[in-house]
Amino acid sequence: MPDWKQRLIGELRRDKKKTIVLAVLLIAVLFVGVRLLRRSGTPAGAIAASWGEDLPATEASNLAAALPGPGRVSPAYISERDAYIKEISHDISRDIFAFQTALYPPVEVPKPQPDAGHVVARDAGPPRPSIEDIVRRQSRALTLQSTIESDSPIAVINGEVLKIGEKIKGFALLEVHCHNCVLEKDGVKVRLEVP
């Protein structure tokens, strides 16, 4: 017997994970056991005796199973409940799942009458951007890096050296000034500044 205890203690000290798992399982088993002992502590006869009545054994056991604890429901309440249930009409006069047309009358949708002078406007959706807006958005992709004013002015845009009249991404170079230039596309002029 002492050899068994020493082996168990040695095993628990050596493997910490096993020790923790066994401890948690032991606590869970104790908790469930205590709960079961508490629940089974009120037999059916004790409930019937606490009300001062002699109930048949089957009715007392059914009552004990239904109650959370002794003395919570009185026999007067049970007799009142039974009397109420007996008074209720158990006849079903209609199908509760049938659709009731009286509650939901059909709705007629009026049809539009064709009118000779009436033109139906169609939703055109969001307004289309103008050409000027489109060109200005496209010009944001261009960066003026440098300008040289001389007899033949030069602008450096997106790393490309351009002379007057040359194009980049559809934009034609019109004018070159100190620190800015003017480009044109589709009749829209755009000014680029050196950052």
The answer to whether residue 112 is domain-embedded is: no
Please check whether residues 30 and 53 belong to one and the same domain.
Answer: no
Please check whether residues 35 and 56 belong to one and the same domain.
Answer: no
Please check whether residues 21 and 51 belong to one and the same domain.
Answer: no
Please check whether residues 32 and 66 belong to one and the same domain.
Answer: no
The answer to whether residue 98 is domain-embedded is: no
The answer to whether residue 167 is domain-embedded is: yes
Mean pLDDT of the chain: 78
pLDDT in tens, 96-155: 777 777 777 777 878 777 665 555 566 667 788 888 888 889 888 898 998 988 888 999
The answer to whether residue 179 is domain-embedded is: yes
Q: What is the pLDDT of residue 99?
A: 75
How far is Cα 151 from Cα 118, in angstroms, rounded to an integer?
65
Tokens (6 digits) for 175:
């004018």
Residue 163 near residue 173, CB atoms below 8 Å: yes
- CATH number for the domain spanning 153: value is 2.30.30.830
Query: Above 80 in pLDDT, residue 1?
Result: no
Residue 157 parent element (H or E): strand 154-157
- DSSP letters, 48-81, are HHHHT----HHHHHHHHHH-SSTTSS-HHHHHHH
Q: What is the pLDDT of residue 25?
A: 94
Residue 142 near residue 192, CB atoms below 8 Å: yes
Q: Is the C-alpha dihedral spanning 143, 146, 150, 152 positive or negative?
A: negative
Please check whether residues 150 and 186 belong to one and the same domain.
Answer: yes
Please check whether residues 12 and 32 belong to one and the same domain.
Answer: yes
- What are the φ/ψ torsions at residue 186 (nearest 5 degrees)? 55, 35
Q: Which of 21, 24, 3 is nearest to 12 (CA)?
A: 21
Can you give the residue range of the structural domain that contains 58?
44-86
The answer to whether residue 170 is domain-embedded is: yes
Give 24's pLDDT tier (boundaries 50, 70, 90): very high
pLDDT in tens, 28-54: 999 999 988 887 655 554 554 454 445
Q: What is the pTM of this model?
A: 0.37
Specify the number of domains making up the chain: 3
Q: Is the C-alpha dihedral spanning 179, 184, 190, 195 positive or negative?
A: negative
pLDDT in tens, 146-186: 898 888 899 999 989 999 999 998 999 999 988 899 999 98
The answer to whether residue 94 is domain-embedded is: no
- DSSP letters, 160-193, are EEEETT-EETTEEEEEEETTEEEEEETTEEEEEE
Please check whether residues 33 and 64 belong to one and the same domain.
Answer: no
Residue 137 parent element (H or E): helix 131-139
The answer to whether residue 120 is domain-embedded is: no
The answer to whether residue 114 is domain-embedded is: no
